[in-house]
Amino acid sequence: MRLYYDFHIHSALSPCADDDMTPNNIVNMACLKGLDAIAVTDHNAAGNVRAVTRAAEGKNLIVIAGMEIETAEEVHVLSLFPSVFAAETAEAEVQARLPRLQNDSAIFGRQLLFDENDRVTAEEPRLLITAAALSIAEVFALVRRLGGLPVAAHIDRDSYSVLSNLGGIPEELGAVTVEISRAVEHPEEYLLPRPELRGCKIMRNSDAHRLGDLSERVNSVTTDGNSAADLLRAFG
């Protein structure tokens, strides 16, 4: 079956995202845009994944639990998991390796946690948009150990990508799925002069920080089923 997806969406737990990126707003916008599957991928956190999953109950929408982990090399790794429990387990390990910096909401924005009814339950005090003391190899190993899919995020950008920061994809990572951003209108043309990406699977997402930025019904994948595990296998 063919499923239309957007696997890089920030909720208001990410300080750089709008406060109206609440569980129900995200779910309803995804449904309005005709998406079949989404992933919530906040910076170094999975605190709103469970609420978004519950908000999607009864709707024809698959929610994948995720995070966007920043490595010690300041490379972003989109991390997609087969279950909320796996994402929350990864969150605990990542946050144990974050510097103990307090968020200044006046500078960076608020970091809001919600329940499934969009009620604010807490505000995360620690700054989430910083690098964890985990190498890219350690992050890939952590995600894979929990049955997840690590994805080299927005490789077309000039910062926070494996190509911009490391100059290439380290061989020790093994087969890699890479993400290109919505700024790349013609993926085939982008990949043509980059032989180092041959053999990589390609994912294209919105990296939405605002509701209107969620992907339209344009990026799709063919799967054997409609579970989170099926979707991860399609890209893995």
Tens digits of per-residue pLDDT, 171-220?
A: 899 878 999 998 888 887 888 888 888 888 999 999 999 999 999 999 99
Dump the DSSP string for 160-201: SSHHHHHSS--GGG-S-EEEEETT-S-HHHHHTT-GGGTT-E
What's the pLDDT score for residue 85? 97
Tens digits of per-residue pLDDT, 25-56?
A: 999 999 999 999 999 999 999 999 999 999 99
Label the pairing between strands 2-9 and 112-114.
Answer: unpaired
Q: How far apart are CA 119 and CA 152, in angstroms?
A: 33
What's the pLDDT score for residue 96? 98
What's the pLDDT score for residue 162? 95
Mind listing the domains of the chain with CATH numbers? 2-235 (3.20.20.140)
What's the pLDDT score for residue 216? 96
Task: Inform me whether the pLDDT recorded for 82 exceeds 90.
Answer: yes
Tens digits of per-residue pLDDT, 112-163?
A: 999 999 999 999 999 999 999 999 999 999 999 999 999 999 999 999 999 9
Average pLDDT over residues 56-74: 97
pLDDT band at 98 (very low <50, low <70, confident <90, very high): very high
